[in-house]
Amino acid sequence: MKKAYLVLSNGKIFEGESFGAVGDSVGELVFNTGVVGYIETMTDPSYYGQIVVQTFPLLGNYGVIEEDFEGVPALNGYVVREWCREPSNFRSQYDVNKFLKDKNIVGICGVDTREITRMIREEGVMNAMICSELPADIEKIKDFKISSPIEKVSNNEIKTYPADGEEKFRVTLIDYGSVGNAVKELCKRGCSVKVVPYNTSAEDILADKPDGVVLGNGPGDPADNVNEIGEIKKLFGKAPIFGICLGHQLLALADGGKTFKLKYGHRGSNQPVKDVFGTRTYITSQNHGYAVESGSVKDGKDVFINANDGTCEGIDYDGYDAFSVQFVPDISAGPIEKEMFFDKFVTMMGGKK
């Protein structure tokens, strides 16, 4: 194993060992609290431009299973305390080290991920570099910015997926970097799904006369997507809309809402979300660094909040056949009870038939 360093923009240096691809990589340093689901994390396009720290001390114990990939890997680096060299799982195809090498993702192991996580929680998300030699200065690290992430992870081709069995509804999903499981959840409910690029115009979408529109998840600062927000405004009220994660934020901005950057974000499969008008609290999978400012939208009301920090986790737009959630109800590594939101969307489309 070769020596490697994790250099933070605050000047802190962690010495460890290199694994995965060899090289230097700069990114925004974030942490994920999931005990399982590292395959989904490594293949989630929403991590574009970020270096992910896994808080659980051992990763890779059940290997890598390509069938469980969520999308195209987009993260800039991977930080773990220890990775399993001999995974035990009948489905395992190879180990995490090979995955990172094959995808050209730089990794570092043997560092104190607890200390790194505490630092991010106290100081907030910061930039970092994984490197084989210490840099002369850290200006390059400080200057790093994630730019145009949606353009990098959205598929530029239109793809269509048939419904499982008889077609009941036709859905258009706008791809901002969404994971593949959303399509599966829609298809198994009798929806044929047309996935279109992030920059598809509202006119083109409505010309296809879909029964509903899904605003997918994706990376980056939602407020940067001015053109996309403008197109969503044109869709608002014209067709049932379901917004997921980034789609939740974009829908809020299209209705006059505001977003802000969280200190260290919500990333993991154990985020508690409380039903404002009920008695239940759901444990959800999340991956986002921004949130919608509660009460800022014109035509919607908060229906879910984060039980830890009270931030907005879901909005219903009464009278517009639209709703959105900040968490990811379709992620494979998370609990399955949130699949009910796809049922809610199908029911909403059924009311328009």
Record the pTM: 0.94
Residues 78, 163, single domain; the answer is no
Residues 195, 310, single domain; the answer is yes
Residues 252, 336, single domain; the answer is yes
Dihedral Cα 162, 163, 169, 173, nearest 10 deg: -60
Residues 141, 226, single domain; the answer is no
CB neighbours of residue 146 within 10 Å: 18
Residues 142, 156, single domain; the answer is no
Per-residue pLDDT reduced to its tens digit, 220-261 = 999 999 999 999 999 999 999 999 999 999 999 999 999 999
Placement of tokens 């706008």 in the chain: 174
Share of the chain above pLDDT 90, in %: 88
**For residue 100, what is the domain's CATH number?**
3.50.30.20
Residues 156, 281, single domain; the answer is yes
Domain closes at, from 146, 172, 204? 146
Domain closes at, from 115, 146, 177? 146
Residues 255, 137, single domain; the answer is no
Residues 187, 297, single domain; the answer is yes
Token pair of 196, please?
Answer: 């279109």
User: 244 is in which domain, residue-wise?
Assistant: 150-350
Tell me the sheet residues that pair with 305.
274, 312
User: Do residues 177 and 150 make contact, with C-beta atoms less than 8 angstroms apart?
Assistant: yes
Residues 130, 184, single domain; the answer is no
**For residue 245, what is the domain's CATH number?**
3.40.50.880
Rg of the chain on CA atoms, in Å: 20
Residues 267, 325, single domain; the answer is yes
Per-residue pLDDT reduced to its tens digit, 120-177 = 999 999 999 999 999 999 999 999 999 999 999 998 899 999 999 999 999 999 999 9
Residues 187, 130, single domain; the answer is no
Tell me the sheet residues that pair with 286.
268
Domain closes at, from 95, 128, 146? 146
The Cα 48–Cα 147 span in angstroms is 10
Structurally, how many domains does the chain consist of?
2
Residues 112, 165, single domain; the answer is no
